[in-house]
Amino acid sequence: MGIIEKMRLDGKKIFVTGGARGIGKTVATAFAEAGADVAIVDLDFDEAKKTAAEIEENQEVTAFAIKADVTVPEDVDAMIETLVDRFGRIDVAFCNAGICINAPAEEMSFEQWKKVIDINLTGVFLTAQAAGKIMIKQGSGSIINTASMSGHIVNVPQPQVSYNASKAGVIQLTKSLAVEWAPKNVRVNCISPGYIGTELTLNSPNLQPLIEQWNQVAPMKRMGRPEELQSICVYLAGDTSSFTTGADFVIDGAFTSI
């Protein structure tokens, strides 16, 4: 069997949080193209159902939507229960849900701070923890968390202290879980994308001036495309990455190198 065949995900059971649109949708589509069955988890249930239907229409896999708030333990537990009922097992968890609130640190309200930390960090922990319990029982599994280059640098000119702190936390959370669960054959890695031009980002009038500034500084003079995150996630989801755990993959067009 060649390396391309070995990288297939046929028979894998995967869920993607924040999977209705953007990076989550793009990566979920890649998982399905590689042969995996995929659950789309999102608070926007209507959009999640559209994404799942689109995947099923274009790929010979099972895809369905689950509504869940990753900051609510009961929601996460119910999501995992549904997944086990439908799939029988969980091979891969892509903990991707996240938000960003730009506000100067001296003006940021506690509610704004807490919302970002709750979704970006606590939500990743709760989701990875719940998936990890199932994977430990199975004796195998792969967890992929979405961090950010913002866990490595301080973005300018936008003020986003809570986002940067949350994503740095995701990186260290990933490494901690990886070490704890390595003896149990559960791998935990994260990706740290740079500025990615999702549909929502590119179509936001408020972000256009910022995008121009980012691209002026960026070594490649452009934002990344969601599709440029697909291959690393497929790799981490599959068996060819069996010795890869505790790693943080920075995909930023060398932005953090300057």
Domain count, the chain: 1
In this structure, what CATH number is given to the domain that contains residue 225? 3.40.50.720
258 in any annotated domain:
no
Rounded Cα distance, 235 and 246, in Å: 14
pTM across the whole model: 0.97
Whether 119 is covered by a domain: the verdict is yes
pLDDT value of residue 141: 98
Residue 72 lies in a domain: yes
Question: pLDDT at position 204, please?
Answer: 81
Give the model confidence (pLDDT) of 22-43 as tens digits. Answer: 999 999 999 999 999 999 999 9
Q: Which residues of the chain have pLDDT under 70?
A: none
Per-residue confidence (pLDDT) for residue 128, from 0 to 100: 98
Rounded to an integer, what distance in angstroms lies between the CA atom of residue 24 and that of residue 8? 19
pLDDT reported for residue 105:
98
**257 found inside a domain:** no
Residue 33 lies in a domain: yes
Give the residue numbers spanning the domain of 190: 3-252
pLDDT at 168: 98
- Which residues are annotated as catalytic? 148, 163, 167
